[in-house]
């Protein structure tokens, strides 16, 4: 699919959407390609908010591919951007995903530490979705530990 160049922001948004669609269709290589193109646009435009979103989407793609290290690294980049943006929901989201990636790696101490950080932030910002996600993850970690 050809994307008409000109309006860089619209181009970045198109790449983000194409990455999402490819991901939904299990076309992970194509999703990665579009995500990287979107990241290049957001870097060029110095658009921290959209860059964080693109990093987060790519991090989830790497998680699906079981490349947990890359997923963690990208979510840490999201946190750095989201701190600058004062985006508490974005920070909470990345903390939870980092906790889950560490859990998948069998690094229980790191998983619990990130989950607790996310849980505390969820309580502070009154994020019901965050509370549910973190309590669920803590329960899963406890269940897996029992095996």
Secondary structure (3-state) at 3: coil
Tell me the pLDDT band of 1, cut-offs 50, 70 and 90: very low
Q: Does 147 score more than 70 pLDDT? A: no
Q: How far apart are CA 131 and CA 118, in angstroms?
A: 8
The whole-number average pLDDT for the span 73-97 is 97
Q: What is the pLDDT of residue 4?
A: 54
Q: What is the pLDDT of residue 96?
A: 97
> Angle at Cα 16 formed by Cα 18 and Cα 43, nearest 5°?
140
Q: Does 72 score more than 70 pLDDT? A: yes
CA distances from 46 to 18, 21, 94 (A): 21, 25, 21
Q: Does 3 score more than 60 pLDDT? A: no
């Amino acid at each position: 699919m050809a994307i008409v160049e000109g309006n860089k922001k619209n181009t970045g948004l198109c790449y983000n959407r194409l990455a999402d669609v490819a991901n939904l269709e299990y076309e992970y290589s194509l999703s990665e390609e579009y995500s990287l193109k979107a990241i290049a646009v957001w870097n060029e435009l110095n658009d921290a908010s959209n860059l964080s979103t693109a990093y987060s989407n790519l991090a989830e793609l790497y998680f699906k591919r079981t490349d947990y290290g890359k997923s963690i690294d990208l979510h840490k980049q999201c946190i750095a951007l989201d701190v600058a943006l004062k985006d508490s929901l974005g920070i909470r989201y990345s903390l939870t995903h980092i906790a889950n990636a560490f859990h998948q790696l069998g690094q229980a101490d790191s998983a619990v530490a990130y989950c607790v950080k996310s849980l505390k932030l969820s309580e502070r910002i009154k994020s019901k979705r965050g509370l549910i996600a973190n309590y669920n993850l803590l329960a899963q970690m406890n269940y897996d530990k029992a095996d």
